[in-house]
Amino acid sequence: MFSDPENNIKQFALAPGMLVADFGSGSGFYSMAAAKAVAPNGRVFAVDIQKDLLEKLKNGARQNHISNIDIIWGDLERLGGTKLRENYLDAVIASNLFFQVQNKDGLCLEIKRILRPNGRVMVVDWDGSFGGIGPLSQDVVSKMQMTAIFQDHGFILDREISAGDHHYGLIFRKKV
């Protein structure tokens, strides 16, 4: 089984009223699951650089009567690239993202910038390269590498979650 957004969001323990960003939202599986978890007063900011996927997410949310998702076209690897305010969000979701980006430090710094003190980030990524269904082996970011990236940027590993057969899940907390 691949990553299960509904199950992973449950393990992330989002609550009604929270403000959450879904980095690299794609067509929105995590955004929609998070939007349900933070409803009725919470918001999800779906951020991606691919406009066609954001349009697909917008249409999917409308078809599913989900109205608490804001679509943002932005560059996740650049400080300020999400256009979100500093210290604004309670949580960030980064699923199947780190293996794709060149500037992992920039991505982590943008997450740090927009999270409130003690804010959390859930990272779900590929546990390896699985012969054509995952990223190339040289692109995989291991659990240990991911932990080092976040710890180097002022995060504490809060806990691991079960994220599926081919994925790992880590929850980090921004230091105060």
Which secondary structure element, helix H or strand E, spans residue 10, and what is its range? helix 5-12
CATH code of the domain containing 20: 3.40.50.150
Cβ–Cβ < 8 Å for 42, 18: yes
Work out how many domains the chain is built from and give that number.
Answer: 1
What residues make up the domain containing 130? 5-174
Tell me if the bond preceding 40 is cis, omega within 30° of 0.
Answer: yes
Per-residue pLDDT of the chain (176 residues; tens, 9 = 90+): 467 899 999 999 999 999 999 999 998 999 999 999 999 999 999 999 999 999 999 999 999 999 999 999 999 999 999 999 999 999 999 999 999 999 999 999 999 999 999 999 999 998 877 777 777 788 889 999 999 999 999 999 999 999 988 899 999 999 98
